[in-house]
Chain A
Amino acid sequence: MSSDLLELTAAQAAGRIAAGELSAAALFAFYRERAAADRAGGEDGLNCFTWVAEGAAADAPAGSLGGVPLAVKDLFCTRGVPSQSGSRILEGYEPPYTATAVERLREAGAPLLAKTNQDEFAMGSSNENSAYGPVRNPWDRSRVPGGSSGGSAAAVAAGLAPWALGTDTGGSIRQPAALCGIVGLKPTYGSVSRYGMIAFASSLDQAGPLTRDVRDAALMLAQMVGQDSCDATSLQFPGEIGVPSAERLDGVRLGVPAELSGEGIEAGVKEAFDRSLEQAAALGAELLDVSLPHAPHALSAYYVLAPAECSSNLARFDGVRYGIRAEGAADLLDMYTRTRHDGFGPEVKRRIMLGTYALSSGYYDAYYGRAQRVRTKIAEDFAAAFEQVDFILTPTAPTVAFALGEKTGDPLAMYLNDYCTVPMSLAGIPAISIPCGLSGGLPVGLQLAGAAFSENKLLDAAHALERALAFDGSPAHV
């Protein structure tokens, strides 16, 4: 029975539960046991989780998600359950409320299975910045799963959770999805409430699904979107998210930007990407060259804007009200300094310092103001491209999963992981990563990006490509 359950996508499992062929409780118990074993496994496990439910699911209302359990990135606030955002400064912190996205999924029938490991405050591309230890990639345990939603991606890839919730600021859903051989979707900024997501960079953070296939991503997204009176930047999604069913791409115009698909892309990744383009053409798509002239500056702008926002967002972690407070401080300033010194990891400190500098008086316009203007240019580039094409295709990440420790000493090399994903984040547009092949036995991700609120069409196109590419995403089942 167990291997049988592992084969099911979330949609298939929900279907069986609805048909009375499978009990939601049995499915929950099955995954709970797998997740708990990983958590108990120490060095032998993947270290995907920071918390796993004990016993049966807390009340799971029957909904369209049919009782399929959900793994949730640590940074989503979950009432009475540790929500630490991968940071020591929030060690043991249990919020008194639950994030809107998690609450909506629970109401739709997806009970909380586990909280997943992540880079501290979502700052990282390898999950090595977690205060709770790195996550291992199920395709090769000596390699990283990507980040910052590394625990969510690895858990889904390894069959430790049917599906997972993540967040994406500059690629934090798409890049780990690519490195772990699963599907990851960053929705249009504002389509999913950010209420209850422990903030990294508020103008970029967006929740989204990490799933085994495109259909599961659509199923989860359909229950997440919608305006929330607690998030003033949330919008009513126009229409509903449907079930993707397209099998062909006839008449679909796909743009390939030279700026994001040539230089800096590893050979094996480029080969898999080129094969995907051939598949797309075989499905009837028209392939066109498009230009995103400002995209090469996206990473520079991002590493001004995101740290600037984080330096302000993380000011609240001062030891006064929650989380850890350093002992033995001489006075108030000493308490602040020691608490933040002990509580934050090196990458978080680096970004707070970068951001504080970029916002400091006299430098504000030269850094923050200028980065904002680059951001506008990038959004204009996409708008112009979408006059010509329906979607833009790029590799999701320039490389496959790299070795643990390989890039920890070189922040700039680490930042390059997000080279292809950051432009879409700055433009606020939806983008999905689907697995498109292997390079050296490791998964390669294909990124499709569309105009704001084009999720339905985007999921349809991804669905057609996914069928044609026929990726076998089952490392852990082996």
Chain B
Amino acid sequence: MSEQGGELEAVIGLEIHIQLATATKMFCSCALSFGDPPNTHTCPVCLGLPGSLPVANARAVHFGLMIGLALGSELAPRSIFHRKNYFYPDLPKGYQISQYDEPLCRGGHLGEVRIHRVHLEEDAAKLTHLGASGRIHGSDASIVDFNRGGTPLAEIVTEPDLRSAEQAGEWLKLLRTTMRRLGVSDVNMEEGSLRCDANISLRAAGSEQLGVKTELKNMNSFRFIERGIRAEIARQQKLIAGGGTVTQETLHFDPASGAITSLRSKEEAHD
């Protein structure tokens, strides 16, 4: 496969997490909060205490359906929550309650970008790593604030219909406005109520085949999203031009240095 000579185009799909503006959490009656003292909005359910059980928040389901209606999705007559099992200190039950093969909404579109699916899940707690690295590796200790844990999230997944960083940024603004009008979320990137991951690959212009994609995680402002995607496209272009191949991995964009680093380590493998 030699693509050096031909024109390459970027293929971008987005995964957007939106914290829903319900009064209470996804599976318990703790109030949603932002900026309150740590661990003041918790109960046996959202702390994952032994014996506790989740009860789905009807309002969150309602909001999820409103999102589906606004995006022209097909609403599921029957929808199932599943457990996504992995160990991490921000995940008190050892699994995240999410949706797998029967999401709340399927299909739809916003502008010319098609929607793959919309599903509901619960947010993780907030981890702070003490020490110089700021990451869990090499930290002296890590502390967990469970106030955020269990916040209802809608995950909106697009089809890979975006072709440039600018287009992705513009489209995300359209989505934000739509969600704000619906009143289902504050959609504030700085506070984390709107989060975006991007799947990025390159292919020969005009080709139908998708290239190997990388996933760029958790970019927390509109500016960083565009810069991050642009940097990743450039990285892949350079790699391919040099005769290399893209490997599927999860990446982190550092807005301060502009560097892209591999994020996936064993402890974050979600299989």
Contact = CB atoms under 8 A, between A and B. Distances in A.
A471 interface: no
Contact of B55 (A230, A316, A361): A230
B271 interface: yes
B144 interface: yes
B94 A195 contact: no
Nearest to A87: B50
Interface in A52-85: 75-77, 83, 85
Interface string B20-37: 000000000000000000
Nearest to A193: B53
Contacts of B56: 232
Nearest to A84: B50
A231 B52 CA distance: 9
B136 interface: yes
B258 interface: no
Contacts of A97: 44, 49
Interface string A312-352: 10111110111000000001110010000000000000000
Interface string A154-198: 000000000000000000000000000000000000000011111
B93 A230 contact: no
Interface residues of A, number: 38
Interface stretch (A13-21, A88-96, A272-280, A294-302): A88-96
B51 interface: yes
B94 A316 contact: yes
Contact of A194 (B53, B94, B137, B144): B53
Given A195-B53, A230-B53, A320 B89 contact: yes
A332 B144 CA distance: 14
A229 interface: yes
Most chain A Cβ neighbours within 10 Å, of B49, B51, B85, B266? B51
A96 B45 CA distance: 12
A85 B94 CA distance: 18
B48 interface: yes
Contacts of B137: 331
A361 B84 CA distance: 12
Interface string A33-64: 00000000000000000000000000000000
A306 interface: no
Interface string B79-90: 000010101010
Contacts of A199: 50-51
Given A90-B50, A95-B51, A232-B54, A333 B95 contact: no
A231 B83 CA distance: 17
Interface in B54-113: 54-56, 83, 85, 87, 89, 92-95
A99 interface: yes
A332 B49 contact: no
A316 B83 contact: no
A316 B54 CA distance: 14
A77 B50 contact: yes
Contacts of B47: 321
B50 A83 contact: yes
B246 to A, nearest CB: 24
A99 B266 CA distance: 37
A361 B44 contact: no
A96 B55 contact: no
B contact patch SS? loop
A198 B56 CA distance: 20
Contacts of A96: 44, 49
Contacts, number: 79
Nearest to B90: A320
Contacts of B144: 320
B95 A312 contact: yes
B208 interface: no
Nearest to A323: B50
Contact of B94 (A198, A315, A322, A333): A315
B87 A322 contact: no
B271 A197 contact: no
B148 to A, nearest CB: 15
Most chain B Cβ neighbours within 10 Å, of A198, A230, A231, A311? A230
B53 A231 contact: yes
A161 B49 CA distance: 29
Contacts of A196: 51-52
B53 A333 contact: no
A316 B85 contact: no
Given A320-B144, A333-B266, A198 B50 contact: yes
Contact of B92 (A198, A233, A320): A320
A138 to B, nearest CB: 29
A321 B53 contact: no
B190 interface: no
B51 A197 contact: yes
Contacts of A320: 89, 92, 144
B241 to A, nearest CB: 35
Contact of A336 (B49, B54, B87, B95): B87
A10 to B, nearest CB: 25
A409 B30 CA distance: 47
B7 interface: no
27 contacts: A77-B49, A77-B50, A93-B50, A95-B44, A95-B50, A195-B51, A196-B51, A199-B50, A232-B53, A232-B54, A232-B55, A232-B56, A311-B85, A312-B85, A314-B94, A315-B93, A316-B48, A316-B50, A316-B93, A316-B94, A317-B50, A318-B89, A320-B144, A321-B92, A333-B267, A336-B87, A359-B85
Given A195-B51, A315-B93, 4 more contacts: A198-B50, A232-B53, A312-B94, A321-B49
Interface of B: 44, 47-56, 83, 85, 87, 89, 92-95, 136-137, 142, 144, 266-267, 271
Interface of A: 75-77, 83, 85, 90, 93, 95-97, 99, 194-199, 229-233, 311-312, 314-318, 320-322, 331-333, 336, 359, 361
Closest 7 CB pairs of A and B: A315-B94, A196-B51, A198-B50, A77-B51, A316-B48, A316-B93, A198-B51
